[in-house]
Homo-oligomer: A and B are copies of this chain.
Amino acid sequence: MVTILITNDDGLYSTGLKASYEALKDLGDVYVVAPAMQKSGVGRSISIMEPIRISEVNVNGMKAYAVDGTPTDAVILGIHKIVGHIPDIVVSGINLGENISTESVTTSGTVGAALEAATQGSAAIAISLEVPDVDKFEFVFKPFDFSFAIKILRKLAETIIEKGMPEGVDVFNVNIPSKPNGEVEITRLARRLYRTRIEERLDPRGRKYYWIDGTEIEDAEEGTDLHAIRNGKVSITPLTLDSTARVDFNNLRRWLL
C-alpha cells in the first residue's frame, strides 16, 4: 500500500490542504499533518529551541494532525511519530500564492517542508497556486478554483508512485498559474522575484516599526518558472538539495591563495 503524507504552510484550515487531500485520497494511505496556524515565509525552519505538541483533529472532513510548529516540524513528526516509516511521497500544498524563484525556494514554508521530506528519503512535491496577493491570507473564506491544480497534482503523484523520482531530482516544485492555458513547462528557478522595500510606520504611541515588503520584478527570462507562470503555463522545476556551487575547485583554490 502506498503511503502519502500531506502538509502545507498555510495551516490546517486552508482550502489548499483540502484540495491536496481530494487529489490524493484514493491513491493510498493518506496522512494529513500540518501546522495548526499559518506559517508562511518560515522556509525550512526547524524547532530546535522549543518542544512541539501534536493534536488529532477533524477539519474540513479530514482526520488530521495539528502540529504547533513549522511545516518542517510537521514533516519530521509526521514521518517519525505519526506514519512511523518513510512515506512513498510527501506533498506540500496546495499553497495559496505562487512559490517561484531562488528566493521562495529558501524562504517558502511550502518548499521547506518538501526539502525536509526529500532529506528524510521520501519523494517530494511542493505545489502552489497563483492567487492575487491580497487573497493569499484569506484561505478560509475565498472559494478558489483548485480543479486544474488537482488534476496536475494527481497526475504527477501517480507518475512518481509508478516510476519513483527521476535520478538527480530531490523535489518537484510545481506552480499553477491563476489562468492556465493548459501547457506545462519544465523550468529553472528565476534568480529574483522581488525588489525589496521597507515600509516604516508609527505605532499608536508614535514609535517606529517596519514591514518588509517587495514589488515584483518586471522582466522574466525565458525558461524560468517566473516566465512560465507569467505566460499561463504550469511550471515544474526539479530541485536538488545540494546547493554546492558547480565551479572548478582548482580555480577556486588558486583564487583563495
Contacts of A41 in B (CB 8 A): 45-49
**In the complex, are the beta carbons of A38 and B43 less than 8 A apart?**
no
Taking the nearest CB of chain B, how far is it from the CB of A129, in angstroms? 18
A106 and B102 contacting across the interface, CB-CB below 8 Å: no
Are A105 and B243 interface neighbours, CB within 8 A? yes
The 8 A CB mask of A33-71 against B (1 = contact, 0 = none) is 000001011111111110111100000000000000000
Asked, given contacts A166-B252, A208-B53, A212-B77, whether A243 binds B119 with beta carbons under 8 Å apart, the answer is no
Q: Is A151 an interface residue (CB 8 A)?
A: no
Q: A42-B42, A112-B106 are in contact. Are A166 and B210 (CB under 8 A)?
A: no
Interface size class of A (residues with CB under 8 A): 35 or more
Residues of B within 8 A of A200 (CB): 81
Taking the closest CB of chain B, its distance from the CB of A240, in whole angstroms, is: 4
By the criterion CB–CB under 8 Å, are B51 and A243 in contact?
A: no
Q: Is the CB of B238 within 8 A of A245?
A: yes
Residues of B within 8 A of A157 (CB): none
A169 touches B247 (CB 8 A): yes
A27 on interface, CB distance cutoff 8 Å: no
CB distance from A67 to the nearest CB of B (A): 9
Which residues of B lie under 8 Å from residue A243 when comparing CB positions?
102, 105, 189, 239-243
The docked-state distance in angstroms from the alpha carbon of A167 to that of B197 is 27
Given the known interface contacts A51-B211, A196-B80, the answer about A43 and B40 at a Cβ–Cβ threshold of 8 Å is: no
* Listed A/B pairs (21) with beta-carbon separation below 8 Å: A38-B49, A41-B47, A42-B42, A43-B46, A43-B106, A44-B106, A47-B212, A48-B212, A51-B211, A53-B210, A54-B210, A76-B198, A80-B196, A105-B243, A166-B255, A167-B247, A168-B245, A186-B249, A191-B242, A238-B247, A239-B245
